[in-house]
Structure formats: structure tokens, C-alpha cells
Amino acid sequence: AVGEEEFTGKEALVRNIVEGDTTLVVRITDAALAEGLLRKEGVQLVLADQRFANRGELLEELRDDEDLRLALYKGWVDPKVDSLAVKLFISLDLSSHTDELGIWNSNSSFYYKRYFAPFGKNFMNYARKISRELGYQRRDVLVNGISPEGGMSWQTFVPGEISVNSELVLATGTPALAFVTVNDARFLVDTPLDRSDKVNYDNLAKQIRVLAGMFHMAFEDPELFPDFKMRLRDNLRSLRGQTMVFPRRSIVPDLPRADAVAVVRNGKKKSYKGVRGEYYEIVDEEGTFFVNRVRVNNVQIEGYYIDPITGRITYAPDRGVQGDEAYPMKVAMDWRDKEWMVILFPCEAYNFYDIVDPRYLTKLSNVQVFDETNGAPVEYGYTIGEGPSAQNEPVGVLFARPGSGIKMGFGAGLLGFRSLLLNATNVTDKDKADGDGYSITRNTSFARTTFLAANDMWNLDESRIRELKSFSIENQRLNDLHNRAKDELDLAEVASAELRWGDFVRHTRAA
């Protein structure tokens, strides 16, 4: 601890040196002197090939020179840490359904273009020479994804999004490039059909020959690196989290849920051509996990405990008053090293499906859970697929205490609820039409989510139409739509009984 701040390990402490914390600069300098990590030549101190007459002169320079502070950081943490000075990291993402390569700077930000553009130009020159020597078509050897010609962008060459190893390296402040097979959608990646008999080895061999030739020329080229320096900042952040539960008769969540799975959701997709976008960690006996590769400013922490015998989720994140409202699951990564906790509660898990608005074909990404009194339950949870598009997993899981009654509302944007799960059983009783809620038992199922929601909303509308009609308020157009919806629901029920699932889905969505 330094002053009122606490740091987890040396790594967390010394990161603050780079931010210019003068107190830490003094403390770390004194520690390095005491441990003999600063070289002395006579009465002078030597750090990063610079000589200083005394401690005061060294401290004064450290406050102004970030590179010097970094050198002190590397020497004090561990002489072996970061001992390999990487000038350029290159990753490969090769597939075999085309034989064309692309060079990319691992980032779409325009900020990096100026630094990496010379690399693209040099490797394009190498590719031209190799294509002449090996008899290849020049355009089929390498494309420049750093500064594409003809107003194109990198997305032109790679159908769908892709993630490469060098992205993480670039985020650490190290120059990084990627060579990627272009014009290949990689349809079989991440599927059971991605087998060795589907590999086109001729295409792969051509790419390897071209890469070997380009690397040979690059290693012998004294002008490979630009003649100007660019400061690439280390933007990675670290997160130390805990999965905790409220024990009986306790006002604080001080009981760790060991052996749970922690999920750090960062707004990215689950998979980018086989590369996982979200982070998953197994927590230890104290419910603790550590992720040191967070690249975004905001994340959401979730935790799940899976019964080792049944495979069912029996603990999940609590979004109630003692969970998300008191200990938010969304975390702002406003410090280099962040500590947080997520509150879990014992529950049963129930899947719900097809949360898509059939009118606008958008995913209903706003979920709200109610109890029988139309208020928020004390303990509840849910999770849905990331992203607003209906292509991004329009499904979810509800977590609730056994024996409770649950209602759900699904919406998108500012238009309120577009789908409701109420368990409305009676159209003549206004309270019953508002729904009793679905009883959470082992046999509860939301597999036919859309049908259940359409039926509940029809019953609710029927009750309200009857009430308005009793006051001589009626709209013929709404009545016609309401009757057509009932016809579609009846047809859907018949199709379900006859196991005609295609017709069942069609009539349900029409309703």
C-alpha cells in the first residue's frame, strides 16, 4: 500500500509510474537502489544508458521522461520480465480455400496508418519480386490491407469480421502485423466439418512459399523499419474479480462461490472465425479470477456455477436489489488494474427463444423481469446474446428461484415492450388478464416463447377491448386485426399438435 491506494503485486504498482505518480517514482527508485538494481559507475547512477550524478538528478529526470520511467519499471519488477525487446511481431492467420495473402496492421484505427504504411509498401515490393521469380500473378500474391488501393478497405478482402493474434500484441504498445488469407469466408471454421480432408494443401503451400520469400527479403532489408518513431501506448488493463454469494444471516456477500465460471463480456462477439471474443475463467477456492488482457473501457462480469453431476446452472448473477443494483455487473475499466465482484444466487435456469420483433426483424435486446405483483423480484437474473442484430443469438436464459412466479417483458429502443410473457389465463377477470406469472418449477418451459407471448398478449388485449366496449369505445380496424391474430394462434396450436413445426412458427409469427 502507498498512501490510501492499494495495489495487487508489483505489476499493478509500477504501472502507475508511467502515469507520472511522483510518490511512486520516489518509492520505486529507493527500492531499486536498496536492492542493487541500479548500476553504479563510481559515484554516478546508470539507468537506460544514461548517467546521473546523484539520486536527486535521477528523480528529476524520471518525472519528465516516460521512457526512463519504463526502464526503471522493467528493471525493478524483474530483470527477466520483458527482457526480449520485440521490434515487430508478425502473426499468421492462414486458410486454404484461396491462395491470396493480405498484410494488415491488426487495427482499423487511422491513428496507426502513418506508422504501418511503410511496412505495407515494403512487403508489396517484396511480393512483386517473388511473383516474378516464381511465375505467379502479382495481384494474386499479396494485397495491401494497411493502405488499400482504389478506395477499398480491409473489410473488402475478408468476408465477415476476423480477429488475429497481433491485435493483442499491438494493444501492449508493440508494433504488430498480420498476414491473413484473403477472399476466403472460412465457412467451415468452428464447425465439425473443419477437417483435414477439406484443406487445399496446394493453396496453403503457395502462401507459405511466398511468406518464406518475403521474410527472407525483409530480414535482410535495412530499410524495413520506418525512419521515424511513433509512441505506441500500452492500453491493456487488468481485472481481478470475485464470485460471491450472500450467506444466511449476513448483510454482506462474504461467501466465495468456488469452482464457478467467470465470464467477462466486453461487447464483442463470441467468435470471430474461431477466435473467442469473450473471456472465460475458472475461479479458485476463494472465488477469485484474474484477466490481464482487457482492451476495452467497459466490461460486464458474470459468473455461473454448474452442477458437476447434472450439468445444470445452479448459481447465476443476481440482478436484484442485493445483486446488480448494489454491486453493478458493468464495470468501467478506468484504472489500469481493477478489482470487482459479482453476486451470485441459487437458481434454476430456463431457456427462452426467438426474441425477435417480426415486424422490424430486430432483436428484442431489452429484457425486464417482474414478479406476481408486477414489481422486480428480490433475486433474479437473465443473460442474452450480445449485439442488436437478430443474427446475434436471439435467445436467452432466465434465472429464478424455484417456487417464485415470473413475468417477462421484451423490448427494443424507445417503443416499450413488444412481447410479454404473463401467463394470462382469464379474459373476463382484469387481474387474471394481467397474468399470474409463470410458476418456476422443474417442469416449467419457455421453449415455445413466441407462441406463449402471443397468446398472453392476445388475452390481455381481449380483456382491454371488452372493457373499452363496455364504455361504447370500439375500433373496427383493431377488432379485425385482433380476430386475425386469434385465427393465426388457433392454426399454430393445430400445427403444434400435428408436429408441423414449420407451420407452427409461421402462424405464431403472423399472430
Residue after which a domain boundary falls, among 49, 77, 105: 77
- 214 lies in a domain? yes
Please count the structural domains in the chain. 4
* Strands 288-294 and 237-245, bridge-based pairing: antiparallel
Residue 389 in 3-state DSSP?
Answer: coil
- 496 lies in a domain? no
340 shares a domain with 354: no
Is the pLDDT confidence value at 197 over 90? yes
- 379 lies in a domain? yes
CA quadruple 327, 331, 334, 340: dihedral positive or negative?
positive
pLDDT in tens, 271-327: 888 888 889 999 999 999 999 888 877 899 999 999 999 999 999 999 999 999 999
- Position 80 scores a pLDDT of 47
120 shares a domain with 71: no
Q: Length of the chain in residues, anyone? A: 511
d(CA 352, CA 359): 19
Is the pLDDT confidence value at 264 over 60? yes
pLDDT in tens, 325-352: 999 999 998 888 889 999 999 999 999 9
213 shares a domain with 94: yes
Residue after which a domain boundary falls, among 297, 328, 346: 346
Is the pLDDT confidence value at 1 over 60? no
- Position 267 scores a pLDDT of 80
Q: Are 348 and 318 in contact (CB under 8 A)?
A: no
341 shares a domain with 404: no
Please give the average per-residue pLDDT across 354-365, as a whole number: 85
Q: The pTM is what? A: 0.77
Q: At what angle do helices 476-497 and 449-469 cross, to 10 degrees?
A: 150
Residue after which a domain boundary falls, among 77, 99, 117: 77
The mean-pLDDT minimum among 82-91, 92-101, 252-261, 396-405 falls in 82-91
Q: At what angle do helices 66-77 and 55-64 cross, to 10 degrees?
A: 120
- Position 100 scores a pLDDT of 94
- Position 278 scores a pLDDT of 87
Q: Are 448 and 507 in contact (CB under 8 A)?
A: no
63 shares a domain with 36: yes
Q: CB-side exposure of 209: number of CA atoms within 13 Å?
A: 16
277 shares a domain with 158: no
Q: Which domain holds residue 339?
A: 237-346
d(CA 387, CA 224): 40
User: Following CA atoms 201, 202, 205, 211 in sequence, which dihedral angle do they give, to the nearest 10 degrees?
Assistant: -120
Q: Are 141 and 130 in contact (CB under 8 A)?
A: yes
